[in-house]
């Protein structure tokens, strides 16, 4: 079996060239293009060229607030594990996931609701610029929607890319009804890896 | 927007029913079917019904060694974050990822090789049943191949599902040449989420 010996940064560069080539001339203004390519890179799934939806300027707002030291809150540990924390911290920001916090687990149990819901409520206490990235739980997005409607939280950007077959499409449609910047993967697809990679695309973006 | 209020376990049950229905009669003997369904569940991508390849009995070997307290070593923190550690530990096993260990970082730097390579070498020191799950780096799979060929490591199961465009297909083909049980997603697709979900399918499997 023949394979090429390449450094990781060469592999990434070559991968992006292949993706660009297979997109067959389709292109987006930056930093949208970087986000689309990274979603394809992380999944090898070109559906992301069609299903990603950006509210007007959402991608630029994301880059801007991350550079201003935004807190990025994810719905799963897996998504937070995939985000380049050191880089976020270099901007003065942080990456948080509350889903396994003891207070969240206890409160979800006592109220008989999901941990995803309680963890979104916990995110509502964060001061300063805020990005919410949901790659797993539609319940987290639905809880977020309710909190926004109740005036309890107002993120600067919502990354709404839960994956699955039940309530997922609906939860994304709800987020797109709001007047808050969003990046959403329409339909069933998404995931913690997609949530993380969208964050990383904005974190790594260079003008 | 209308959505159904359901508990997480009900959502999972309903999701599996939808997946089974959309597989349109296609079925696999267990625990293979559980693995296929979970890969689709985690990605909303039915390609996994076609691209997953199991060496003879690999899925049963996986279930068996996990129950015997296997160590599961992943190539990324994201994959390890997605595996149900408490359940693995309840069998006497553990989930490990060496990629960010200080000794691994230092050695990769001094030898001018990838951290993925050094972390696979570190896994070679593990005693007892061993599952290696690679969802990201083809270099990890290639390093694993070389270590196996050199007689330095012999995992009980290899989950080879890196994703991407460079060396990914080749690294999977290399693993399938060996005489070690494997579960591989042929082609470009895979990911840390897929690596984790294959582990979880075997961890959760009930006879």
Give tens-digit pLDDT for B63-113: 999 999 999 999 999 999 999 999 999 999 999 999 999 999 999 999 988
| pLDDT classification of B137: cutoffs 50, 70, 90 | confident
The set of residues, in sequence order, having a beta carbon less than 8 Å from that of A145 and lying 6+ positions away, is A171, A174, A175, A178
CB contact under 8 A, B44 and A189: yes
Q: Which of B22, B108, B127 is nearest to B68 (CA)?
A: B127
What pLDDT, on the 0 to 100 scale, is given for residue B1? 56
Contact A43 B44 (CB under 8 A): no
Which superfamily, per CATH, for A31-204? Answer: Cobalamin biosynthesis CobH/CbiC, precorrin-8X methylmutase (3.40.50.10230)
Residue B4: pLDDT band with limits 50, 70, 90: low
- What per-residue confidence (pLDDT) applies to A9? 83
Q: What is the pLDDT of residue A2?
A: 61
Tell me the C-alpha to C-alpha distance, in Å, between residue B186 and each of A16, A118, B65: 21, 39, 24
pLDDT tens per residue, range B29-71: 999 999 999 999 999 999 999 999 999 999 999 999 999 999 9
Which chain A residue lies closest to B77 (C-alpha atoms)?
A81
Mean pLDDT of chain B, nearest integer: 95
Selecting among B41, B67, B85, B122, the annotated active-site residue is: B41
Q: Which of A28, A30, A41, A169 is catalytic?
A: A41
Q: Identify the segments of chain A with pLDDT beneath 70.
A: 1-4
Specify the pLDDT at position B92: 98
Instruction: Tell me whether residue B41 is one of the annotated catalytic residues.
Output: yes
Interface test with A, best of B6, B9, B11 (most A CBs within 10 A): B11
CB contact under 8 A, A78 and B2: no
A168-171: long-range pairs with CB below 8 Å, 24+? A168/A138, A168/B44, A170/A138, A170/B1, A170/B2, A170/B3, A171/A138, A171/A139, A171/A141, A171/A142, A171/A145, A171/B3
Which pLDDT belongs to residue B179?
97
Residues of A in contact with B4 (CB under 8 A): 166-167
CATH classification of B29-204 is 3.30.565.10, yes or no? Answer: no
Residues of chain A in contact with residue B187, where contact means CB-CB under 8 angstroms, are 44
Q: Say yes or no for a CB contact (<8 Å) between B44 and A165.
A: yes
What pLDDT does A194 receive? 98
Q: Which residues of A touch B42 (CB under 8 A)?
A: 163, 191
Q: Which one of B2, B3, B15, B187 would you mutate to disrupt binding with A, by most A Cβ within 10 Å of its Cβ? A: B3
Residue A165 has what pLDDT? 96
pLDDT at A8: 75
Q: Is B34 exposed, middle or buried (0-12, 13-18, 19+ CB in 10 A)?
A: buried
Residues in B closer than 8 angstroms to A139, CB to CB, are: 8
Has residue B202 got a pLDDT over 70? yes
pLDDT at B20 over 70: yes
Determine what percent of chain B is predicted with pLDDT higher than 70: 98
CA distance B132 to B72: 6
B contacts of A189 (beta carbons < 8 Å): 43-45
Kindly determine whether residue A170 and residue B142, on different chains, have CB atoms separated by under 8 Å: no
């Amino acid at each position: 079996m023949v394979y090429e010996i390449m450094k990781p940064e060469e592999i990434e560069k070559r991968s992006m060239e292949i993706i660009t080539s297979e997109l067959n001339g389709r292109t987006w203004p930056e930093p949208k293009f970087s986000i689309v390519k990274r979603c394809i890179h992380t999944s090898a799934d070109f559906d992301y060229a069609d299903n990603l939806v950006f509210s007007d300027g959402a991608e630029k707002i994301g880059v801007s607030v991350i550079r201003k030291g935004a807190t990025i809150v994810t719905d799963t540990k897996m998504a937070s594990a995939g985000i380049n924390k050191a880089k976020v911290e270099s901007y003065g920001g942080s990456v948080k996931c509350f889903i396994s916090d003891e207070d969240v687990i206890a409160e979800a149990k006592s109220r008989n609701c999901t941990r995803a819901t309680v963890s979104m409520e916990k995110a509502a206490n964060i001061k300063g610029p805020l990005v919410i990235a949901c790659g797993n739980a539609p319940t987290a997005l639905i809880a977020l929607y309710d909190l926004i409607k109740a005036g309890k939280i107002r993120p600067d950007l919502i990354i709404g890319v839960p994956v699955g077959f039940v309530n997922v499409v609906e939860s994304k449609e709800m987020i797109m009804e709001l007047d808050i910047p969003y990046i959403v993967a329409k339909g069933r697809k998404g995931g913690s890896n997609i949530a993380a990679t969208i964050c990383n695309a904005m974190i790594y973006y260079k003008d």
